[in-house]
Amino acid sequence: MTTDTATLGRPDAAPTSTPAAPAAHQHGFLLPIVGAAAFAHLLNDLIQAVLPSIYPMLKLKYALSFGQIGWIALVYQVTASLLQPWVGMYTDKHPKPYLLPLGMCATFIGVGLLAFSTSYEMLLIAAAVVGIGSATFHPEASRVARMASGGRFGTAQSCFQVGGNTGSAIGPLLTAAIVIPYGQTAVAWFMLVAALAIFVLSRVTGWTLKHGHAKAKSLASNAARGLSKPEVIRAVVVVSVLMFAKFVYIASFTNYFTFYLIQRFGLSVQQSQIYLFIFLAAVAAGTFAGGPVGDRIGRKAVIWVSFLGVAPFALALPYVGLVWTAILAIAIGLVMSSAFAALVVYAQEAVPGRVGMVSGLMFGLMFGISGIGAAGLGHLADVHGIVWVYGLTSFLPLLGLATAFLPDTRRAAKAA
């Protein structure tokens, strides 16, 4: 069986000798649906960003240590990460479109609990409930974006992911404007954001009920052969190493960059939130490049550039002043953020036909590694100080050398 060279490396690529090829891309890239999934991701991750943004306030109010802050992050991240692959695996076989708005209802409840918690234990419960909502959202929304991609999987995944990163960048700004001046109960305002997300996801669910099954069936029937079992095992190991390097390093920014700036440069909490926004905005901008570029030159090339390109900036960051800290943080966010969309689509190409499970596993790894990394970095900060932690994590991008061991999914497509 032969394939057109333009379709190599894409798991839904149709053999040119079959009449199914036009069906796979009959309606092309459905921007309203991909855009709705991306906007819902923006709202979801905006809410998720509120929790780490109020860590300094919670630390002061409840007299928490860095280690206890790390445990709040761990409960949220691990709750989200453990459930996501199971949600994706189940819905691969038993589609449940209504899980999208229902999961956001859990987030709505979690935000309310966070706003009115009165103890450390209640904060942990609120973090867990918000994590459940996130676990339901990511694999299902990622599936919708892929169904509406028209075969441009990298572009759709980047659009979806940039929505989330934009929300993560906006979250700290809104927190600084709404929560920090008025206290913990002001978090309740973000319940309105969750309500808007429920409405958007209800509309997306309506489209999925009408057209989703046909789209998924078309993509599945035109999927190329993935990697062999030994190659899949090797790919999983290497991707896990890369995810560890990326998200432990990113966790040092999302959870502790404000503390680093406050301790090293004497900034206020609100000033530090502006610098966190600058970093997260750079992440959002850089994320979009990974998918479309990966559609053209391959996922592996994007992963190489993402990790090794950021290494010099990461190694220099702990030793520069405030202005250069901001400049290097922007460069790190722009370059390193391109990897995630490429990693997700690479994994989907390696194991075609299991979009929900693969998406859940990738987002689950992201949350799980971020949570464990946040807890570990918090304990290290208690012992050695937050500035020392940034010196240690600056070496993590060098683990990107493991990319050399990734199997080539384009060769698998040619072999098919």
Query: Which residue type occupies 218?
Result: S
pLDDT tier at 353 (50, 70, 90 boundaries)?
low
Which domains are present in the chain?
27-415 (1.20.1250.20)
Query: Which residue type occupies 65?
Result: S
Query: Under a CB-based contact definition with an 8 Å cutoff, are residues 55 and 255 in contact?
Result: yes
pLDDT tier at 212 (50, 70, 90 boundaries)?
low
pLDDT tier at 384 (50, 70, 90 boundaries)?
very high
The arithmetic mean of pLDDT across residues 264-271, rounded, is: 87
**pLDDT tens-place string over residues 277-315:** 889 888 877 877 766 776 677 778 888 888 888 999 999
Q: What is the pTM of this model?
A: 0.66
What mean pLDDT, rounded, does the chain reach?
A: 80
To 10 degrees, the CA torsion angle through 303, 81, 202, 126? -130
- pLDDT score of 351: 72
pLDDT tier at 79 (50, 70, 90 boundaries)?
confident
> Rounded to whole angstroms, how far apart are CA atoms 237 and 302?
18
**pLDDT tens-place string over residues 87-142:** 777 777 777 778 889 989 999 999 999 999 999 999 999 999 998 998 888 888 88
- pLDDT score of 26: 43
Q: Which two tokens stand for residue 174?
A: 């809104």
The arithmetic mean of pLDDT across residues 374-397, rounded, is: 91
Give 96 or 248, the one with higher predicted confidence: 248
Query: Under a CB-based contact definition with an 8 Å cutoff, are residues 24 and 151 in contact?
Result: yes
Q: Which helix (H) or strand (E) holds 51?
A: helix 31-53
Residue 25 has pLDDT above 60, yes or no: no
The arithmetic mean of pLDDT across residues 318-325, rounded, is: 94
- pLDDT score of 48: 87
Q: Give the three-class secondary structure for 267.
A: coil
Q: Which helix (H) or strand (E) holds 202?
A: helix 190-207
